Structure 1
């Protein structure tokens, strides 16, 4: 059950992260990061790793985008 919850949290954060890849919308990644971290924690508490790994990939995408934009853009 926690794995499904982690995947759902990851999908919601993915909906926020995808449009945030557009220039000048990078602030959306800052909104998505706490949600993704919550998904990682919930996924770590589950018995399987799929939800946690999905959230880790989304986290990596958001962090790389933030680092390319200098953390702001």
Structure 2
């Protein structure tokens, strides 16, 4: 689960960089739920793994949370939130 959440976070991070380009900000509407699913997978991975093997899941959780926060900020700046 940790590896899946890490890869999910990397894909979300790449998608976030693309969504920062002007006129592609609509991608944030799809990016935020995508990253939220990755965060849930990471949380499950943290809960299921042994204490010494939680690094990938924690990193995936951090990446996905960063993507969610940047996506919300981008929508707020661009007028995507009402």
Q: Same fold (TM over 0.5)?
A: yes
Q: Give the gaps of 5 or more residues in structure 1.
A: none
Report SS of the residue matched to 1:39. helix
So what's the TM-score if we normalise by structure 2?
A: 0.77
Name the residue aligned to 1:62. Answer: 71
Aligned length: 71
Give ranges in structure 2 of 5+ residues lacking alignment: 47-53
User: TM-score if structure 1 supplies the norm length?
Assistant: 0.86
- Higher helix residue share: 2
Moved over 6 A (4+): none
**CA-to-aligned-CA distance 1:17-46 (integer Å, 9 cap, x gap):** 111112211001112111100100001111
